[in-house]
């Protein structure tokens, strides 16, 4: 299933993508795409609904973040061997973990606001993993049982804030609008192999990122298991699993960073596409 949330910000309705391309309102079936709705029983309830009989939402409706009420937005840094190489960083021995503020979350096609005083705003297409049930001390062999599905994430970053302003990476990752997710939460059963998905990102029509989850250092199973050794994972938590090469910071001979008035397009095989325009903070 491809699940989404449709409507004005703060008033999104849960929906499902019909095979004919229409958005069907499932608010009579579940309250939101959030929390326990992401459990096996919650998803089974949606799957059992008669989609053809559900109301059609306008095709031009805004698409919101595909998961509501996100408790934790966890990110994995330097998790692609080819991306680590372009940054000159050593291959990590264990996953590098940092948090992104949930207040950064927006819809997949919402505008991205360049933060005040930003000099180095950057892009990162990433595979998002959505947790479906509470996970604590999970064995790697069982880790996929805790995954509800997957989504596209643009893990926006302000590199000066992240790297040059001391402290942890979180402040370079958490500006408002720096976490577009969606358009869909694609349930786990529809993704045969999360470690073999093509992914790409363009800015103003120029393709900067053109990679694959094949080059992940730590795969989805390992990441879910690993994180559960240090914190419980809750239904609706999102794990952003790292980015392939081609970020602005890694461009040669000089880095390339975002400015106002540009358009980003990005996508992952089978998970849909996003489009964002960059605007001034006070626009």
pLDDT in tens, 179-229: 999 999 999 999 999 999 999 999 999 999 999 999 999 999 999 999 999
What Å distances lie between residue 176 and 171, 238, 282, CA to CA? Answer: 11, 17, 12
Provide the mean pLDDT of the chain: 96
What are the strands of the beta sheet with 96-99, ordered from one edge? 56-57, 23-25, 13-17, 2-6, 185-187, 147-154, 125-131, 238-240, 73-77, 96-99
120, 16: one domain: no
The DSSP 8-state label assigned to residue 153 in this structure reads: E
User: Which of 25, 57, 89 represents a domain boundary (last residue)?
Assistant: 57
150, 14: one domain: no
Identify the residue whose tokens are 């790297």.
163
What percent of the chain shows pLDDT beyond 90?
92
Rounded to 5, what percent of the chain is helix, strand, coil? 20, 30, 45
The whole domain housing 47 covers: 2-57
Say what the pLDDT of residue 167 is: 79
Arithmetic mean of pLDDT, 37-61? 97
45, 139: one domain: no
* Chain-centre distance for alpha carbon 109: 13
Q: Cα(first)–Cα(last) distance of the chain, in Å?
A: 36
Specify the number of domains making up the chain. 2
pLDDT in tens, 234-252: 999 999 999 999 999 999 9
Say if residue 15's pLDDT is above 90.
yes
Say if residue 64's pLDDT is above 80.
yes
Say if residue 89's pLDDT is above 90.
no
């Amino acid at each position: 299933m491809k699940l989404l949330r449709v409507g004005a910000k703060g008033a999104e309705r849960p929906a499902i993508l019909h095979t004919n391309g229409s958005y069907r309102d499932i608010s009579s079936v579940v309250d939101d795409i959030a929390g326990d709705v992401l459990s096996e029983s919650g998803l089974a309830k949606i799957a059992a609904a008669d989609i053809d009989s559900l109301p059609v939402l306008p095709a031009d409706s805004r698409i919101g973040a595909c998961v509501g009420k996100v408790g934790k937005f966890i990110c994995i840094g330097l998790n692609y061997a080819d991306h680590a190489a372009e940054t000159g960083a050593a291959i990590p021995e264990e996953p590098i973990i940092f948090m992104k503020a949930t207040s950064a979350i927006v819809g997949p096609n919402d505008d991205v606001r360049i933060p005040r005083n930003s000099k180095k705003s950057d892009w990162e297409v990433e595979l998002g993993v959505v947790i479906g049930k509470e996970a604590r001390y999970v064995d790697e062999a069982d880790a996929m049982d805790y995954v509800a599905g997957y989504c596209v994430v643009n893990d926006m970053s302000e590199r000066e804030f992240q790297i040059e302003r001391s402290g942890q990476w979180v402040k370079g990752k958490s500006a408002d609008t720096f976490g577009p997710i969606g358009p869909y939460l694609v349930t786990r059963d529809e993704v045969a192999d999360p470690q073999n998905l093509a992914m790409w990102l363009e800015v103003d029509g120029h393709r900067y990122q053109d990679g694959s989850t094949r080059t992940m250092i730590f795969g989805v199973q390992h990441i879910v298991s690993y994180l559960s050794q240090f914190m419980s994972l809750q239904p609706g938590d999102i794990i952003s699993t790292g980015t392939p090469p081609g970020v602005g910071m890694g461009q040669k001979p000089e880095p390339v960073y975002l400015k106002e008035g540009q358009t980003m397009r990005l996508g992952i095989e089978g998970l849909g596409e996003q489009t964002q325009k960059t605007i001034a903070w006070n626009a």
